[in-house]
């Protein structure tokens, strides 16, 4: 089960993976409260969360992703070596940081050399506060993840063998663009352009133009850095009414196909009919992505 926080609201989703079939969404629920803790307590009660091992996501402001060269050390010493690499890149003391590392696969045909890793850094106090919040609600918290990986989990359901995929989602703060292939995340970046109201034509046009420019730059950068991966398409995550017209605008201005995603094409939503609505798919998008997590090999 994945449980995500948005202000004083909590959203939960449970996904069951099925061999040779689409993953089944068995539950989706959201509750608001006077505080995040109260919302979590409501979710814990309604969803019987104590029966599950749960995943949650950090908010974008709660962590950093830093691209660094892989140090030449044995795997057991990697995180220690990364702390030395990061100590001058954070705006707080490295002893106050919790660090994890994400490998970025390299071109198999290229000569062996130092390659890129992503270091994910968060204040240890932030991690402890999240653990305490779930503990007070009696929810067993197994994993604290990040939105980039949740989005990668959904993109992986859409990948064609041997091809990469770009995916763009939006929330109230702006967009998240990810590039993945073979189930691996290669590149991610934030686009700080929220979608304006559908009624504000002038602002919508300006926002669409800025989003297009950011995408063109990101696509060019990806082509240069990962020339050995051919992108099949750009997929737009489900959007509410404010996203109307964005697909058409991007399709007219980008060189790759642009598709809008209906989660019903990759997930079995029959147990939660409300998720047929695009607005609900947008609301639960990251929570469903987090619920698709499965354990992977650690570095």
Q: Look at residue 142 in the predicted model and tell me its pLDDT.
A: 95
Whether 114 and 163 share a structural domain: no
pLDDT (tens digit, 9 = 90+) per residue, 160-199? 999 999 999 999 889 999 999 999 999 999 999 988 877 7
Whether 254 and 168 share a structural domain: yes
Q: Look at residue 113 in the predicted model and tell me its pLDDT.
A: 62
Query: Is residue 112 included in any domain, yes or no?
Result: yes
DSSP designation for 96: G
Whether 163 and 228 share a structural domain: yes
pLDDT (tens digit, 9 = 90+) per residue, 55-83? 999 999 999 999 988 888 887 888 888 88
What values do phi and psi take at 45, rounded to 5?
-70, -50
Whole-angstrom distance, CA of residue 113 vs CA of residue 158: 31
Whether 173 and 248 share a structural domain: yes
Whether 197 and 115 share a structural domain: no
- Please give the tally of structural domains in the chain: 2
Whether 179 and 254 share a structural domain: yes
Query: Is residue 144 included in any domain, yes or no?
Result: no
The gap from C-alpha 19 to its chain's centroid, in whole angstroms, comes to 24
Query: Is residue 76 included in any domain, yes or no?
Result: yes
Query: Is residue 14 included in any domain, yes or no?
Result: no
Query: Which one, of 247, 256, 259, lies nearest residue 222 by Cα?
Result: 256
Residue 210 pLDDT greater than 90, yes or no:
yes
Query: Is residue 140 included in any domain, yes or no?
Result: no
Q: Look at residue 172 in the predicted model and tell me its pLDDT.
A: 84
Encoded tokens for 60:
């974008």
Whole-angstrom distance, CA of residue 245 vs CA of residue 265: 21
Whether 116 and 163 share a structural domain: no
Whether 177 and 250 share a structural domain: yes
Whether 181 and 255 share a structural domain: yes
What Rg do the C-alpha atoms of the chain give, in angstroms? 19
Encoded tokens for 260:
């809008």
Band the pLDDT of 299: cuts 50, 70, 90.
Answer: very low
Q: Look at residue 111 in the predicted model and tell me its pLDDT.
A: 62
Query: Is residue 17 included in any domain, yes or no?
Result: no
Domain range for 177 is 159-260
Whether 167 and 252 share a structural domain: yes
| Cβ pair 236, 259 in contact under 8 A | yes
Query: Which one, of 182, 191, 116, lies nearest residue 147 by Cα?
Result: 191
Whether 209 and 116 share a structural domain: no
pLDDT (tens digit, 9 = 90+) per residue, 226-274? 999 999 999 999 997 777 799 999 999 999 999 999 999 999 999 999 9
Residue 296 pLDDT greater than 60, yes or no:
no
Q: Give me the CATH number covering residue 247.
A: 3.30.420.40
Residue 206's SS3 state is: helix
Query: Is residue 200 included in any domain, yes or no?
Result: yes
Could you count the other beta carbons within 10 Å of the beta carbon of residue 204? Answer: 20
pLDDT (tens digit, 9 = 90+) per residue, 273-294? 999 999 999 999 999 999 999 8
pLDDT (tens digit, 9 = 90+) per residue, 89-148? 999 999 999 999 998 887 777 665 667 889 999 999 999 999 999 999 999 999 999 999
Whether 165 and 245 share a structural domain: yes
Q: Give me the CATH number covering residue 91.
A: 3.30.420.380
pLDDT (tens digit, 9 = 90+) per residue, 10-59? 999 999 998 889 999 999 999 999 999 999 999 999 999 999 989 999 99
């Amino acid at each position: 089960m994945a449980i995500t926080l948005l202000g004083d609201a909590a959203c939960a989703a449970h996904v069951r993976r099925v061999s040779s079939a689409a993953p089944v969404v068995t539950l989706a629920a959201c509750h608001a409260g006077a505080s995040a803790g109260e919302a979590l307590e409501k979710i814990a009660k309604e969803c019987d969360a104590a029966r599950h091992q749960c995943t949650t996501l950090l908010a974008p402001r709660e962590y950093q992703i830093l691209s660094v060269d892989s140090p030449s050390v044995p795997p057991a010493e990697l995180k220690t070596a990364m702390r030395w690499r990061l100590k001058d890149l954070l705006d707080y003391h490295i002893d106050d940081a919790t660090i994890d590392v994400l490998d970025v696969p390299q071109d198999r045909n290229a000569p062996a050399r130092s390659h890129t890793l992503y270091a994910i850094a968060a204040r240890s106090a932030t991690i402890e506060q999240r653990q305490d919040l779930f503990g007070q609600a009696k929810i067993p918290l197994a994993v604290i993840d990040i939105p980039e990986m949740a989005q990668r989990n959904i993109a992986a359901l859409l990948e064609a063998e041997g091809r990469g995929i770009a995916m763009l989602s939006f929330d109230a703060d702006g967009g998240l663009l990810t590039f993945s292939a073979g189930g691996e995340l290669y590149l991610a970046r934030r686009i700080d352009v929220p979608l304006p109201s559908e009624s504000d034509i002038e602002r919508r046009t300006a926002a669409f133009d800025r989003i297009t420019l950011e995408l063109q730059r990101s696509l060019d950068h990806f082509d240069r850095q990962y020339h050995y991966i051919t992108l099949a398409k750009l997929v737009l995550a489900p959007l509410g009414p404010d996203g109307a017209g964005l697909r058409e605008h991007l399709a007219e201005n980008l060189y790759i196909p642009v598709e809008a995603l209906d989660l019903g094409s990759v997930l079995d939503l029959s147990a939660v009919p409300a998720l047929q609505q695009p607005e609900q798919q947008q609301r639960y998008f990251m929570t469903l992505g987090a619920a698709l997590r499965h354990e992977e090999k650690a570095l």
